[in-house]
Amino acid sequence: MARQLSKQSQSPAEPIPHILVVDDDELACQELKGVYNHYNYQVTVAHCAEDALPALVQLDIDLAVIDIRLPGMSGVELVKHIRMNYPDVPVIVITGQGDLKTAIEVLKLGASDYFAKPFALSAIQESTQLVLQKAQVFTDIRHLRRSLKEFYNFGGMLSKTPAMHELFETIRMVSDTDMTVLVEGETGTGKELVARTIHYYSSRRMKPFIAINCAGFVESLLESELFGYEKGAFTGADQARPGKIELAHGGTLFLDEIESISLNMQSKLLRVLEDRLVQRLGSSRSINVDMRVIAASNLKLEHLTAQKKMREDFYYRINVISVELIPLRERLGDIPLLVQDFLHRHPLAIQKGITGISKQTLDRLMSYSWPGNIRELQNVLEKMIVLERSQIIREARLPKQRADNGWETETRAENTPLFKWIKDQEKQYLIRKLSMCGGRIDLTARSCHVGVRTLARKMRSHGLDKRQFESAAAKPASLLLPPNH
């Protein structure tokens, strides 16, 4: 079998696909191993199905190339085993010349391709490349899981979106300083997670992380929660109690939904932030506090300042370093990674043997706008796991699309001029397509059935940059949760 192939260029940062070759013919194994090594693939060889089974368990296999005629357990049985237990691992089957009926059977089982002996190595390599490209999302998941095993968590900042990687770098840089940080982002984007991550990577990690949701208290109760009180300071204060500020001494104070506090409370907090002194209610004694402050908001505080709903001096005091989280609808390409990781981690999914999600269901998840962001995705997946009866999630149970004020999207659309509604729909469509294609203009244009120039013009009109959506495979994915979080 002649080999007239040019070596595939492969970035050193890209994960190397791992191929399992299962064939009792030593010569065929060596030829396949040779051509795959030539293309920089990692290869494991097994001469029977029984030897292939532990390899599938212990190794991160990205593709299995299986001869149907094997001693002991047949190749057909091995294909069935892989499709049942490793549904995201594609299979290429090798058959004898007279095994067309068997080849059709394994294709029905879910094999990606088949070749009859004797086969051309160039044809096998071309098929391998196409199959791996189609399964790229799942290959990425396996390699990410391999490199990040100790830190991998659905609630963590797992992403292959370049803009998210820039965010990770910002968080790393500010973590080991004592600067006050303002985290802004929509509900469900993980603001408290970011705050905890900053604390974990700071020199204060061994000290307390004290969190308080400022929107959860009326003003009088918020003041006593933050500042603490002495015995007898008010009715019901039957013993002295330190406040959150005092408890955060040496560590980090996280003020969530800071946009909800009154101007009066802003003034009192400003004094603490400037002087690093706190005075309990009912006390005349000031206590020194050494703490790092991280604030979070669902709203843009700059707008509240312009509306006189927030003091400028308070805003500038808490907005020393600003971190703005990206909503899920602007990084839809991360959904396959988040979904697969959630299934890999969720106790009920493990118990029920749910290992994957159908392409149609995944497409539906990627076409939804996710107003509740990661938190909403997690809730939707949890419901799917509870209701699913097979090993693959095949039905997407999505909420109705809603506007921010809780009305149906259609209701809001009734008051929107047609040209604006059409433009908004086009932008969201392009965002989804660019996310799914990793920012590649040629693939996106083909997917949208338009020319490259037309797509580029429309992207400019909507202010979209392909770099927002490019695959971050050239960069190691970052995960910000501490291993024992």
For 139-148, how does the pLDDT look when each residue is reduced to its tens digit (9 = 90+)? 766 665 555 4
- Structure confidence at residue 146 (pLDDT): 57
- Specify the higher pLDDT residue, 445 or 328: 328
Q: How confident is residue 443, by pLDDT bands cut at 50, 70 and 90?
A: confident
Alpha carbons 219 and 230: distance in angstroms, whole number: 18
- Structure confidence at residue 259 (pLDDT): 93
Nearest CA among 14, 136, 11 for reference residue 476: 14
CB 199 within 8 A of CB 181: no
- Specify the higher pLDDT residue, 173 or 148: 173
- Structure confidence at residue 445 (pLDDT): 85
**pLDDT surpasses 60 at 383:** yes
Alpha carbons 20 and 419: distance in angstroms, whole number: 54
- Specify the higher pLDDT residue, 344 or 41: 41
* 320-346 residue pLDDT tens: 999 999 999 988 888 988 888 788 778
Burial annotation 91-123 (CB, 10 A radius, 16+ → b, else e): bbbbbeeebeebbeebeeeebbbbbeeebebee
- Structure confidence at residue 145 (pLDDT): 57
**pLDDT surpasses 90 at 407:** no
**pLDDT surpasses 70 at 348:** yes
Q: How confident is residue 424, by pLDDT bands cut at 50, 70 and 90?
A: confident
**H helical segments located in 289-328:** 301-306, 312-318
Domains of the chain: 18-134 (3.40.50.2300), 162-324 (3.40.50.300)
- Structure confidence at residue 98 (pLDDT): 65
- Structure confidence at residue 66 (pLDDT): 93
* 186-214 residue pLDDT tens: 999 989 999 998 998 899 989 999 999 99
- Structure confidence at residue 275 (pLDDT): 93
- Structure confidence at residue 328 (pLDDT): 93
End-to-end Cα distance, the chain: 54
Strand ranges, E, within 12-57: 18-22, 42-46
Q: Rounded mean pLDDT of 258-268?
A: 94
Q: Rounded mean pLDDT of 378-398?
A: 87
- DSSP class of residue 334 equals G
**pLDDT surpasses 70 at 310:** yes
Peptide bond into 118 cis (omega under 30): yes
Percent of the chain with pLDDT over 70: 85
Whether the pTM exceeds 0.85: the reply is no
- Structure confidence at residue 257 (pLDDT): 94
Instruction: Name the average pLDDT for the chain.
Output: 82
- Specify the higher pLDDT residue, 329 or 485: 329
Percent of the chain with pLDDT over 90: 32
- Structure confidence at residue 1 (pLDDT): 38
- Structure confidence at residue 15 (pLDDT): 66
